[in-house]
Amino acid sequence: MFDFTAAEDDLPSSVWELGIYDAHCHPTDNYKRLAEALGIIDISKLTIMATRLDDQVKVRDAATQYPERIVPSFGYHPWFTHLLYTSPMPPESKYHHYRSVLLPEPPTEFMDLLPDPVSLSSFIEILIENIETHKNALVGEIGIDRSFRLPKSGKLISFEESDTDDSSSASSEVVNGHNSSDTKKLSPFTVKQEHQTEVLLAQLRVAAKFRRPVSVHGVQAHGILYEIFSRLWTGYSVPTRRQKKKEKEEQKFVKLDMEDGTPKSGNDQLPFPARICLHSYSGPPDQIKLWTNRKLPAAVYFSFSILINSRYGDKFKQVLRAVPDDRLLVESDFHMAGKKMQALLAEIVKFVCEVKGWELDQGVRTLGNNWRAFVYGTDDL
């Protein structure tokens, strides 16, 4: 088990110099530390996730300020989807809204604690603006979470540290997904799956339109996520070798005409993102085969963290073995940039290499290639 209090990693600097990339993290939760931390950490690039309305701008600013080190990802996390209404017109009142998106139906006293909801379409506008400004930006963190419950306080879950000490002992709480004492106690209220799905689909449409990869969160939702993507993939298949030769550009998949089954030209806009990362994947090992079937018209990557995945013990090893070598990514999933983030990343790199039977150098090179392929789309071989 990883020692959460250790702030130093033991990877030699020659290994860091090969390039180690964090495929999913949240350092803007402690934004003030970011600048200082980037000066002391050896992580090549951080793929940083936005999650809610107020952190999109932090991710944007970080990416603008440190373009060499940061790849931004803009999106709306399932934990906060209750704050969005999806109807074209605003709901009659916040009470109407929360009654329609939360399960079971919450009492008025609980809804009193919650803010007025904001329209999904206004969020999508912000998303598009950010995506257009940042040409390498991803869409994320998006997804479905069926186990998440709203904090009793009505406040949002927060990972902000009042203490700026990098070696604070908050991580064991982070493992449970709750950090500040205010957000520790949970209510019984969950966000309806249909509502989460609607918010997810709207964001997947943006990712598809702007041809961006997505970082996806799935908890107790692996079957559902697979269904959602399968529906988007229906009617599309990977091009044959001859077609591929003809259309060398990436993402020119062949659309099968549903009427007579003949392939159509692949110039149409694809209704799904071409590259998908299932972050901190916690689904069954068997399902990996479905996601990585080479006939699927999208490349699905799996990213793993010590914080989340080491909880799964032996199952984690089985999962890692089942992931094709070219679809594996590593992440810290940590909420604060610094030496601890680096140590978490070093730990998962070592663990992956051990389970996969890779030499450290070879493993780091493979993981680096995979990250570049996922983020920049250089995998159209």
Q: Smallest gap, in angstroms, from Cβ of residue 72 to Zn ion?
A: 14
Q: Smallest gap, in angstroms, from Cβ of residue 366 to Zn ion?
A: 23
Cα gap 101→91, rounded to integer Å? 12
Q: Smallest gap, in angstroms, from Cβ of residue 279 to Zn ion?
A: 6
Q: Smallest gap, in angstroms, from Cβ of residue 140 to Zn ion?
A: 8
Q: Smallest gap, in angstroms, from Cβ of residue 141 to Zn ion?
A: 5
Here's the x/- map for Zn ion, 314-343, by CB under 5 A: it reads as ------------------------------
- Considering only residues 274 through 303, tell me which ones interact with Zn ion, judged by CB under 5 A: none
Q: Smallest gap, in angstroms, from Cβ of residue 293 to Zn ion?
A: 26
**Closest to Zn ion by CB, 15 or 49:** 49
**Closest to Zn ion by CB, 111 or 348:** 348
Q: Smallest gap, in angstroms, from Cβ of residue 218 to Zn ion?
A: 11
Stretch in the footprint of Zn ion (CB under 5 A) among 133-141, 152-160, 188-196, 226-234: 133-141
Stretch in the footprint of Zn ion (CB under 5 A) among 11-19, 36-44, 140-148, 198-206: 140-148
Q: Smallest gap, in angstroms, from Cβ of residue 22 to Zn ion?
A: 11
How many residues touch Zn ion (CB under 5 A)? 1
Stretch in the footprint of Zn ion (CB under 5 A) among 1-9, 98-106, 134-142, 297-305: 134-142
**Closest to Zn ion by CB, 22 or 141:** 141
**Closest to Zn ion by CB, 33 or 97:** 33
User: What residue is closest to Zn ion based on CB?
Assistant: 141
**Closest to Zn ion by CB, 134 or 279:** 279
**Closest to Zn ion by CB, 141 or 145:** 141
Task: Please say whether the beta carbons of 239 and 266 come within 8 A.
Answer: yes
Q: Smallest gap, in angstroms, from Cβ of residue 372 to Zn ion?
A: 21
**Closest to Zn ion by CB, 344 or 353:** 344
Beta bridge partners of 191: 102
Cα gap 49→51, rounded to integer Å? 6
Give the residue carrying structure tokens 């993939």. Answer: 233
Cα gap 22→44, rounded to integer Å? 8
Stretch in the footprint of Zn ion (CB under 5 A) among 114-122, 136-144, 286-294, 366-374: 136-144
**Closest to Zn ion by CB, 141 or 166:** 141
- Considering only residues 57 through 96, tell me which ones interact with Zn ion, judged by CB under 5 A: none
Question: What secondary structure, in 3-state letters, does the chain show?
Answer: CCCCCCCCCCCCHHHHCCCCEEEEECHHHHHHHHHHHHHHCCCCEEEEECCCHHHHHHHHHHHHHCCCCEEEEECCCHHHHHHEECCCCCCCCHHHHHHHHEECCCCHHHHHHCCCCEEHHHHHHHHHHHHHHCCCCEEEEEEEECCCCCECCCCCCCCCCCCCCCCCCCHHHHHCCCCCHHHCCECCCEECHHHHHHHHHHHHHHHHHCCCCEEEEEECCHHHHHHHHHHHHCCEECCCHHHHHHCCCCCCCEEECCCCCCEECCCCCCCCCCEEEEECCCCCHHHHHHHCCCCCCCEEEEEECHHHHHHHCHHHHHHHHHCCHHHEEECCCCCCCCHHHHHHHHHHHHHHHHHHCCCHHHHHHHHHHHHHHHHHCCCCC
**Closest to Zn ion by CB, 150 or 270:** 150
Contacts to Zn ion by CB under 5 A: 141
